[in-house]
Amino acid sequence: MNVQLRDTPLVQATSKIAIADGDIHPARFKASEFDPWLDQKWRDRIAQFGTRQRQPWQSGPAYPKSQPNASRRDAVPPEGGKQGSSLAFMQQQHLDPNNVVLGILNPLGSGQGIQDVDLSIALCHATNEWQIAKWTSQDKRLKASVVVAYEDPIASAAEIRRYADNPDFVQVLLLSRTSEPLGSRKYWPIYEAAAEVGMPVGIHAFGYGGNPMTPSGYPSYYIEEMVGHSQAQQSLLNSLVVEGVFARFPTLKTVMIEGGSAWAPALAWRLDAAWKRLRAETPHLARLPSEYIRDHVWWTTQPLEEPEPRSHIADAIGWTGWDKFIFATDYPHWDYDDPATSLPLKISESQRHDYFIGNAQRVYRGVA
Amino acid sequence: MSRHVVAAASEIAPGERKLVSVRGRPIAIFNLDGEFYGMLNRCPHQGGPMCEGKITGLVTAPEPGKYDYSHAGAIVRCPWHGWEFNIRTGQSYCEPERFKTRTYPVEVADGAAVVEGPYVAERIAVSVEERYLVVDL
Amino acid sequence: MTHIIQPGAIDCDIHPNVPNVAALLPYMEDHWREQVIVRGIDELASIAYPANSPLTCRSDWRPADGSQPASSLAQVRAQALDPFATSIAIANCLYGVQLLFSEDMAAAYARAVNKWMAAEWLDREPRLRASIIVAAQNPELAVDEIERCAGDKRFVQVLLLVSGDQPLGKRQMWPIYAAAQRHGLAVGIHAGSSYHNPPTSVGWPSYYTEDYVSQAQAFQSQLTSLICEGVFNKFPDLKVVFLESGFTWVPAHLWRLTKFWRGLRMEIPWVDRAPADIVRSNVRFSLQPVDGPPDRDSLLRIFDHLQSDELILFSTDYPHWQFDGNAAIPDGLPAELVRKMTHDNPRATYPRLLETVA
């Protein structure tokens, strides 16, 4: 029997436009990858007591995901290991065929939000060094985020300043589900440091701050948690604006990551209406909430809402502004948005350029 | 339209699938209990490679809290977003009137017949002892 | 220019207030009346509406003597009913019954508020209808109160707050929905919280402004819960009305929910049609606050995104300050849409409005 298949590649190589990806999730091939940057006491602590978060399980997410590691089933590297743990396979499956010329790394599961704040600080620092060693030093298209133990904002600010002059780092990474709303004064040292070093603060959905997923407690289903991340994102943006973070730090940029974006216009309208009525309470705000949002906030695109008809998303994007979106795939996660198919709209060349790369080049330092 | 020999039947065991290409078109061939079904290897949603999806059953519910499990092994979930498709019909479970993935009938032909033609065998060397999967395209 | 509302409008959200706890005492059972006095229990005034916040009462609607706004029938007639040519207004009393930690005390207050509503308002003003206040803390007690009030057809709805002890879709809450469906009552879900959980999913904010804005996120969570838990599969005739929720957030929320449903519906297999379809058949939203865009065309786009002209019910949200003068309807809406909001949609939502009131 001499059966053989055609050897022509099934993924056709096309001359795709160069794009940025504002949300790539690198993973460890094995847990010990952080060890070079972790003191023995922390390795012992993790071995004995684990990395306890404000959720029930020793490992795994609060709500079981829909797919293993919440990842694309076709993203398991040929050498094994978690999706996103192989640079070579990430290049082969994503960066090269999609012509990603700028990829922002947002490591999750790094140590943010761990109950033991000292351990969280140590793990976050290890994550940052690991990003250099395994990723940014190996592929110049990739840029790192400074992962910080946000529940200790003073330590976070120190970590941000440590990478102030390292061009591999272009963003500070927070998670959305913090112990207090992110506008709380507690977190302001983080914003002060980020503004000082010229990095935007990226706020990625997820984390466990200890607050129930809804103002009525915990829902039953993973789909509710996933949809609910956009409520968390709206609430934290409400907080950033009204508590005065943008008024206090006029050069601060923030990027809302993976929390959706089509909600932004309605939130801004509601904020403006409420603030006009209630402004006596917040004299620290000099302008309409929507103006602060306009000047200080960007959104990564994924998961892009999918209305029927799809043209409705163009209204939502237009209300927020085509200059406010940073294309993102969320590779290798399951709710990945494909650059070729996720925005099926007829748009102008300049809109396309801004959406897929131009805006990212303006938001992140030193990448244009 | 022509007839394309895409694989030997023995290559795809029951419950398995294989990605083939016919006139440059990627097609996932599934073996469901000895019957073969072809499906375009592009999810109609965002283009996920269906051939790498998880094969599952189907859960429906006559009312909240009741779980009826059926169609074991006859559903493929897109490896990206988990959309469920009936392998036999290509229909999406959600909103089937709106979403359907392209399917291709797969015929099983004896090697002797295939040798006689008229078939396009691509790069598959054909032997009279084998049985082959044939797609019209 | 302000819309001239055609006579006969139905205002689906006004808020007559309990003037003070003394007004409720005649309607309380002996034990509870004595408890209120012996323990010195203060007014159940929720922090959701600080007494002197501008939003809590429009300045020209505030009584000159400093008394509780919207607490007398004369005020409500002059300020809420007459100016809008209202034929019927639905009274949603926001006395803080649902905020209590004791279920029995909450049920006692709920009974008192409903008796007070029937005697002091409904008996005296034929244009008024009301919602049944219930102790949502305990669905069994809530059902008892629904059963007690249901014979009075002037009660057209069961009232819940948007934030409480648990997501509203949870099965523990279903006896309330069963009772509502059985009696042809809508379920109104109003802005406000029991404050038994933090008001946002990222914790307690510093300012009232944030609290009020975040009500919209609370509504979003509850819409998710009601749909995902299968409330409308179990109770297909149930109408849920979101009150003082805003509605411009609705399309974007449904886009996201629908996108995830297509991939995750195996987790909630009873949800067998798109969330937007479920909303169109079972969920309605009150008009005020509009939370709209500054320009007319964008607001029309939002109505286009809603893909139905049957979802919005006219409301003034009286005495909350959502608009000035009589401009309860945003400028620029087509007359046909306004007619549906003010007349047709409320009738289609509240079956009891069609019944002759004895």
Instruction: Give the domains, in start order, of chain B with CATH numbers.
Output: 3-136 (2.102.10.10)
- CATH no. for A19-363: 3.20.20.140
Residue B112 amino acid letter: A
DSSP B61-109: -SSTT--EEEEEEEEEE-TTT--EEETTT-BBSSSTTT-B--EEEEEEE
Rounded percentage of chain C residues whose pLDDT exceeds 90: 96
The structure's pTM equals 0.96
Which chains form contacts with chain A, at 3 or more CB pairs under 8 Å? B, C
Q: Select from B63, B70, B95, B97 the residue whose CB has the most chain C CBs within 10 Å, as the one to mutate to test that interface.
A: B95
CB contact under 8 A, A3 and B53: no
Chain A contact for C60 (CB, 8 A cutoff): no
Mean pLDDT over C236-246 rounds to 98
**CB atoms < 10 A from the CB of A120, how many?**
25
Nearest CB to A74 within list B11, B20, B49: B49
Task: Give, in order, the Cα–Cα distances in Å from A40 to each of A32, A33, A44, A46, A288.
Answer: 12, 14, 6, 10, 51
Which tokens sit at C307? 């893909």
Task: Give, in order, the Cα–Cα distances in Å from C183 to each of A111, C107, C179, C351.
Answer: 53, 20, 6, 10
According to CATH, the topology of domain C9-349 is: TIM Barrel (3.20.20)
Residue C137 DSSP SS3: coil
Q: Which residue of C has its CA nearest to B66?
A: C270
Rounded to 10°, the helix C103-116/C30-38 angle is: 110
Least Cα separation, residue C272 to chain B (angstroms): 7
Mean pLDDT over C130-147 rounds to 98
CA A242 – CA A239 distance, rounded (Å): 5
CA A218 – CA C92 distance, rounded (Å): 27
- Chain segment B30-60, per-residue pLDDT in tens: 999 999 999 999 999 999 999 999 999 999 9
Q: Return the pLDDT at C353.
A: 94
Q: For C348, phi and psi rounded to 5 degrees?
A: -75, -20
Q: Return the pLDDT at B126.
A: 83
Nearest CB to C193 within list A184, A215, A232: A215
Residue B70 amino acid letter: S
- Chain segment A8-63, per-residue pLDDT in tens: 444 444 568 999 999 999 999 999 999 999 999 999 999 999 999 999 999 999 99
pLDDT of A156 over the 80 cut: yes
Whose structure tokens read 């290991």?
A: A81
At C358, the pLDDT band (50, 70, 90 cuts) reads very low
Mean pLDDT over A317-346 rounds to 96
At C356, the pLDDT band (50, 70, 90 cuts) reads low
- Chain segment C178-226, per-residue pLDDT in tens: 999 999 999 999 999 999 999 999 999 999 999 999 999 999 999 999 9
The answer to whether the beta carbons of residues A61 and A70 sit under 8 Å apart is: yes
Residue A301 DSSP SS3: coil
The H-or-E segment that residue C299 falls in is: helix C296-306
CB contact under 8 A, C255 and A179: no
> By mean pLDDT, which of A1-5, B31-35, C43-47, C67-71 is the weakest?
A1-5
As beta bridge partners, residue A333 has A71
A134: left (phi over 0), alpha (psi -120 to 50) or beta: alpha
Least Cα separation, residue C155 to chain A (angstroms): 26
Spans of all domains in chain C: 9-349
Q: Return the pLDDT at A162.
A: 98
CA A97 – CA C153 distance, rounded (Å): 66
Q: Return the pLDDT at C160.
A: 98
- Chain segment B57-76, per-residue pLDDT in tens: 999 999 999 999 999 999 99
CA C340 – CA A36 distance, rounded (Å): 68
At B95, the pLDDT band (50, 70, 90 cuts) reads confident
CA A117 – CA A123 distance, rounded (Å): 10
Residues of B with CB under 8 A from a CB of A: 7-8, 11, 19-21, 24, 26, 41, 45-49, 52-54, 79-82, 122-125, 127, 129-130
At C315, the pLDDT band (50, 70, 90 cuts) reads very high
pLDDT of A242 over the 90 cut: yes
The answer to whether the beta carbons of residues C87 and C128 sit under 8 Å apart is: no
Nearest CB to B60 within list C229, C263, C269: C269
- E strand intervals along chain C: 9-14, 86-91, 128-133, 155-163, 186-193, 240-243, 283-286, 312-313
Nearest CB to A6 within list B11, B45, B123: B123
At B113, the pLDDT band (50, 70, 90 cuts) reads confident
Nearest to B81 by CA among B46, B56, B55: B46
Q: Return the pLDDT at A309.
A: 92
Q: Select from B75, B94, B100 the residue whose CB has the most chain C CBs within 10 Å, as the one to mutate to test that interface.
A: B94
- Chain segment C21-47, per-residue pLDDT in tens: 999 999 999 999 999 999 999 999 999
Q: For strands B131-136 and B103-110, give the pairing.
A: antiparallel
Is the N-terminal amide bond of B118 cis, ω within 30° of 0? yes
Mean pLDDT rounded to a whole number for chain C: 96
Q: Return the pLDDT at A1.
A: 30
Computed from CA positions of residues A274, A279, A281, A285, in that sequence, does the dihedral angle turn out positive or negative?
A: positive
Mean pLDDT rounded to a whole number for chain B: 93
As beta bridge partners, residue C128 has C89
Spans of all domains in chain A: 19-363
- Chain segment B123-137, per-residue pLDDT in tens: 678 888 899 999 988
User: In chain A, which residues have their Cβ closer than 8 Å to the Cβ of B80?
Assistant: 72-74, 334-336, 338
User: In chain C, which residues have their Cβ closer than 8 Å to the Cβ of B94?
Assistant: 261-262, 265, 274
pLDDT of A299 over the 70 cut: yes
Q: Return the pLDDT at B2.
A: 87
Nearby residues of C268 by Cβ (< 8 Å), 6 or more positions away:
A221, A223, C228, C229, C230, C261
Nearby residues of C179 by Cβ (< 8 Å), 6 or more positions away:
C142, C143, C146, C147, C150, C158, C185
CA A90 – CA A101 distance, rounded (Å): 13
Counting DSSP H helices and E strands in chain A, the numbers are 12, 8
Q: Select from B46, B99, B114 the residue whose CB has the most chain A CBs within 10 Å, as the one to mutate to test that interface.
A: B46
Computed from CA positions of residues A47, A52, A58, A60, in that sequence, does the dihedral angle turn out positive or negative?
A: negative
Which tokens sit at C32? 């509870």
pLDDT of C132 over the 90 cut: yes
Chain B contact for C339 (CB, 8 A cutoff): no
At A147, the pLDDT band (50, 70, 90 cuts) reads very high
Nearest CB to C225 within list A219, A313, A335: A219
**CB atoms < 10 A from the CB of C276, how many?**
22
Whose structure tokens read 């909600």?
A: A263
pLDDT of B8 over the 90 cut: yes
Mean pLDDT rounded to a whole number for chain A: 95
CB contact under 8 A, B65 and C261: no
CA B122 – CA B36 distance, rounded (Å): 19
Nearby residues of A121 by Cβ (< 8 Å), 6 or more positions away:
A149, A152, A155, A159
The answer to whether the beta carbons of residues C209 and A274 sit under 8 Å apart is: yes
The answer to whether the beta carbons of residues A317 and A11 sit under 8 Å apart is: no
At B122, the pLDDT band (50, 70, 90 cuts) reads low
- What does the angle CA A334 – CA A238 – CA A230 come to, to the nearest 5 degrees? 20
